[in-house]
Chains A and B, each alone.
Chain A
């Protein structure tokens, strides 16, 4: 990789360029806006793919570093050796880098963003504003997995919040305002808690650098109660995003109201920030506390898994089925993290990527169905395989992927997460979780078979199947799901070094 070309900066800045370009395009130029809308994410995807191709799989260190000074300030820090405060210059650069944990997420983000931009092609209302916010969201998503210090992470994280708020509030369904508000209040509170923890972490370690904190915090002499409090506050802050029961109700509302292309990104990428934070911060900063609290996290995972699963089984609306399914699948991520071994962590990251792809595919198809039939209610649909065989066939494929059919990505993720948890002290929780394998099949097939199989309603007899352009994102996402499912080493190889590094710190 040539050092002269700041690849990661280019990746993050590409959507910024997109925003600038869109800003100068008159809003009546719908066609041009749409073209820009998919070209920019395509360029970003090429950068991400380039990063994957040049990633050094041997190294656990962050790679392809790019850094610019943002600001610096002088801050008093307590120095125990002289029992006094010393003033320290703290610089906060915009530091980006990629390691084995961020690489799969960056790639998945770039792919899902690209595909959702293609899915927007049928959108007609206020395109200019839409793409402005979409690119803003994209900036946040591209940056959040690459940020090397907490301030930069937080800035990117907040960008996604702002962008998603507007995308939901302006472009959503009938209940969009309520949904956007619920989203903002709960995520705002989560951000608040997160920021509080970050500030205290800075207080304790004197640095905003993630790696610096990860190295210093376990060794620092800190009041155990404070440390435990920080641990759980961080779990709560990230638990809003993941989401963890009972912090999940905002997520259902966004899933129900936001436009499908946005939900693709929300369910596919944004939820993963919570999962990423769990590994990067909770596990990365508190490796010494993890063994003690892992069973509790596993238990939260079990609640997510079963609660989401059973709730999804009775939902009358496809959107809500998929939303609860997301909740359920995030339980698998918690399983993987709580396992505290390579298998589990591998499973958690696989699940993040896999669910990102599958969820994006589900909502892509849902958007196409909604646009054609005007509804996502299961009882108003049925027999769609007759009039839209491609869409219905892909929906069945996505459902099978989501319920963990082997040779597709969801299975290998679930398998590793379960394997990890079974090999940990929390194995009884994993045993209870096996029920989830049955219930996920039941809710996915119930919803999808009622939609695509059975007699066709007369009101939908005239709807059309996918157009050639619409087929592209479907097949690309499906191909990625099959690739990971059939050849999981495509993810596991770049992940290994970083995961071993993360795990090496546990208990020590």
Chain B
């Protein structure tokens, strides 16, 4: 490791949410009002330390904190360490930053919820797990935090536990991501089997020194990628993410848009030394990423729930990041991860303000809200434009960096990614025009709509400013931020023709959706009875298939096992038992006490003992 600096900073970043989690767990509902502020303060402290860590490593150094030894015997050494490299420093700042803003926003959003303390308790747990994941140095530590992130997400999706839909969504999220996590579980064991060490650095070293066979490296990379596919909602494990929108909207912003779902991308970036040695694994990553990008964008076209549109959009954008990773550009992927965290979190927070105001998620009953909520509308439009990739917003630069990274060697992937720009513009345009412009479709809801309180608006302002300026983050003149991105490797710059092409496609999509919503042109997906519409509406029947085929098969196995138990095994034992009882009753006919059945066995045992002794005496 080059330039390792001993430091307590990594733990200082992780510790505050742990303290607030323990505090909220212990005090619980007694501190309803204070819960949000405790959580916010903790994440703010984390954010400050994360910034300090970022400046410390911007030259390419790594901060190394003292590890905690938790399990040790033989070769097994589970030591929880905490390192901050340039890559993890960016992630720490993004996580702590968005988490802080979402904490503050939630104080307003959740104010009326009786379980607000539980909410912030879960949110602290999530932040703790996410920060811990980012600083991990040991495979077991990584896995522990990786799963805790998932558990916190599960708890928050099911926060509104009375609703069957929230319950089903929480279950689905846990199971589907768990399937991916099995990959990481196996990867961790494979790494240990090959290197006899659980330290991640040892695995990197073994891979880079060529000590591992090429197919082992590929296997390791693909197992890790499986976990990333689960967490980051990539095809074919994308099904849980849209359903996760059952959670409270600030949670969707933090966990299911900005940070946790990006953890898969971070995981691949973090373990890139392994992927870098396996071209076939890289190709798989790029292909899954490109396919997911365009595939999820098509499903976003027909959703009527504003959060679900954004959810499919998230899946699609995560596909972009995976594509950049597969194409070899960690810098582009993390750049897009950062800008996406800002503009997608802003979209969700703005959407939350809208939902808060009109009391529904259904975009088809909204309309004309720009007049009622001008601030929210303005930020939503800017964030949407950043998502579409219009200059000079953050998304324009990062998306073009992703596209540019695919130009050498991935023409098909590039084409899919460019087409996705058009689809992105179409589905975002549809939301924009339906929600904020035109006529109000539900007069009652429209009349009651109002701007969100300051505690909710302020985080949107901060994110909004970031969306406006984050495009410059890779530029050297931004100081430590630019340097820390620079430490991730060269980020490809899009040529002018590409910038022009994506901007034109973005405008085309927006314009097309405008005309569609106005009814000026016949919309290809305007008719719900058409087969194409049905296919997208039914999400390509993939969810249906999983529920029927996978869930059905598990239940079938279960019924089979139970039937075997009842009919075969129980029957067999009942036969033996009956035989014993009959013989026992005969042997015990004189007694007839209550415990005759036990006597039967005891007697039987005694007989056998005597026989054995008799046999053994025979030789004397």
Contact = CB atoms under 8 A, between A and B. Distances in A.
Contacts of A454: 161-164, 167
A417 to B, nearest CB: 11
A439 B554 contact: yes
A296 interface: no
B38 interface: no
A208 interface: no
Interface string B375-396: 0000000000000000000000
B458 interface: no
Contact of A434 (B147, B170, B182): B182
Contact of A246 (B557, B569, B608): B569
A314 interface: yes
Given A422-B193, A492-B73, A313 B555 contact: yes
Interface string A293-314: 0000000000000110011111
Among A314, A315, A386, A411, residue most surrounded by chain B Cβ atoms (within 10 Å): A314
Given A486-B70, A488-B70, A400 B151 contact: yes
Interface in A386-425: 386, 400, 405-407, 411-412, 415-416, 418-419, 422-423
Contacts of B73: 342, 346, 492, 496
A250 interface: yes
Interface string A416-459: 10110011000000010010011101100110011011111000
B615 to A, nearest CB: 9
Given A310-B561, A314-B559, A456-B162, A186 B573 contact: yes
A306 B171 CA distance: 20
Contacts of B565: 249, 252, 311
Contacts of B370: none
A434 B577 contact: no
Interface in A103-139: none
A454 B190 CA distance: 40
A231 interface: no
A180 to B, nearest CB: 8
A196 B616 CA distance: 12
B620 interface: yes
A259 to B, nearest CB: 19
A188 interface: yes
B210 interface: no
Interface in B136-158: 140, 143-148, 151, 158
B317 to A, nearest CB: 28
Contacts of B598: 162, 165, 184, 188
Interface stretch (B173-181, B324-332, B444-452): B173-181
Contact of A488 (B71, B148, B186, B597): B71
B410 interface: no
B408 to A, nearest CB: 37
Task: Give chain A's interface secondary structure class.
Answer: helix
A196 B76 CA distance: 40
A405 B155 CA distance: 13
A341 B189 CA distance: 15
Nearest to B69: A489
Contact of A195 (B179, B576, B608): B608
Given A165-B598, A314-B558, A449-B167, A489 B71 contact: yes
B144 A311 contact: no
A184 B558 contact: no
B609 interface: yes
A425 B71 CA distance: 25
Given A250-B573, A311-B558, A441 B601 contact: no
Contacts of B170: 449, 453
Interface string A177-212: 000011011101101100110011001000000000
Interface in A475-508: 486-489, 492, 496
A343 B601 CA distance: 39
Given A314-B558, A446-B171, A342 B71 contact: no
Given A188-B601, A441-B174, A453-B167, A434 B612 contact: no
A78 interface: yes
Size class of the A contact interface (CB-based, 8 Å): 35 or more
B580 interface: yes
Task: Give chain B's interface secondary structure class.
Answer: helix
B570 interface: yes
A406 B619 contact: no
Contacts of A412: 71
Contacts of A252: 565
Contacts of A439: 554
A418 B193 CA distance: 11
A77 to B, nearest CB: 9
B580 A343 contact: no
Contacts of A232: none
Contacts of A181: 577, 581, 597
Contact of B617 (A76, A405, A446, A486): A76
Contacts of A492: 71-73
A438 B182 contact: yes
Contacts of B558: 310-315
A437 B143 CA distance: 14
A442 B554 contact: yes
A453 B182 contact: no
Interface string A209-238: 000000000000000000000000000000
A265 to B, nearest CB: 19
A418 B190 CA distance: 11
B12 to A, nearest CB: 20
B71 A185 contact: no
Contacts of B576: 185, 189
Given A407-B148, A492-B71, A422 B171 contact: no
A268 interface: no
Contacts of A381: none
Contacts of B192: 419, 423
A346 B74 CA distance: 11
A171 B36 CA distance: 48
Given A314-B562, A437-B178, A184 B70 contact: no
A78 B174 contact: no
A114 to B, nearest CB: 24
Contacts of B166: 453
A331 interface: no
Among B73, B151, B190, B554, residue most surrounded by chain A Cβ atoms (within 10 Å): B73
A338 interface: no
Nearest to B584: A185
Nearest to A186: B573
Nearest to A444: B174
A274 B468 CA distance: 65
B302 to A, nearest CB: 29
A51 interface: no
A437 B185 contact: yes
Nearest to B165: A454
A40 B236 CA distance: 56
B605 interface: yes
Contact of A418 (B185, B577, B612, B617): B185
Contacts of A200: 612
A174 interface: no
A385 interface: yes
A80 to B, nearest CB: 13
A189 B580 CA distance: 10
Given A192-B608, A195-B608, A311-B562, 7 more contacts: A185-B581, A186-B573, A191-B605, A313-B558, A314-B559, A406-B140, A489-B70
Interface of A: 76, 78, 85, 162, 165, 181-182, 184-186, 188-189, 191-192, 195-196, 199-200, 203, 246, 248-250, 252, 306-307, 310-315, 342-343, 346, 383, 385-386, 400, 405-407, 411-412, 415-416, 418-419, 422-423, 431, 434, 437-439, 441-442, 445-446, 449-450, 452-456, 486-489, 492, 496
5 contacts: A165-B598, A192-B605, A434-B182, A439-B554, A445-B174
The 8 tightest CB contacts between A and B, nearest first, are A188-B601, A314-B558, A406-B144, A311-B561, A310-B557, A453-B167, A488-B71, A453-B161
